[in-house]
Amino acid sequence: MRRKSSETRQRIIDAAYTLFYQSGYMRTGVDAVSDAAGITKRTLYQHFKSKDDLIAAVLERQHQMALDRIRQWADQITGTPDKMVMALFEKLSQWAARAEWKGSGFTRAAVEFADLPGHPARKAARRHKEKVEEHLAEKFAAKGLDAAAQVAREVLLLIEGCQSLVLIHGKMDYIDAACHAALVLVKSHQSTLF
């Protein structure tokens, strides 16, 4: 019985994840999630006490998936910090080229709930972005980059900014421009060892 309950919960999270990413957190109702998961609304509320609770669970799943993907990308990269940056933006470009791409779900969640700083979606977005920044800083530090934490923050700003501009303008060359700026930034912080 417990396994079936766990499977139902996961099916709800999977359905909500897809719908939230496609249509947004606020525009997606629990009726749509219930229908997509093939359950009743009552069953949904047996697993999640509120829509906010469901949003928090979806963002936790998204956090784990995104962080695993970022770590996987970064772990495959060898060489100097500038090669790491080029590979990072190449992966971002591949992701953004997908037809269903709508930017970072965490950024979108933070924007949708901008007027509610204590909302679980805002907390999840903040935690996720902090973890990404920490991971980048660790990778840059391991490569011997000076001021690794500061460079990671600045590269993350470029990543976030180019994603927003690609969404606004529909032009992928903003990723190339951000990559160029990140390379200039990283090269300015490389020690003479590189």
Mean pLDDT lowest for which of 16-20, 33-37, 73-77, 157-161?
73-77
Band (12; pLDDT cuts 50, 70, 90): very high
Question: Rounded to two decimals, what is the model's pTM?
Answer: 0.85
CA–CA distance, 106 with 126 (Å, rounded to integer)? 8
Q: Up-side HSE of residue 179: CA atoms within 13 Å toward CB?
A: 17
- Confirm or reject CATH 1.10.10.60 for domain 1-48, answering yes or no: yes
Domain boundaries, the chain: 1-48, 54-189
CATH number listed for the domain at residues 54-189 = 1.10.357.10
CA–CA distance, 163 with 93 (Å, rounded to integer)? 9
**Nearest Cα to Cα of residue 152 among 96, 94, 70, 91:** 70
Instruction: Answer yes or no: is pLDDT of 192 > 80.
Output: no
Predicted confidence at residue 193, as pLDDT, reads 45
CA–CA distance, 167 with 62 (Å, rounded to integer)? 20
Question: Phi and psi dihedrals of 64, rounded to 5?
Answer: -65, -45
Predicted confidence at residue 1, as pLDDT, reads 52
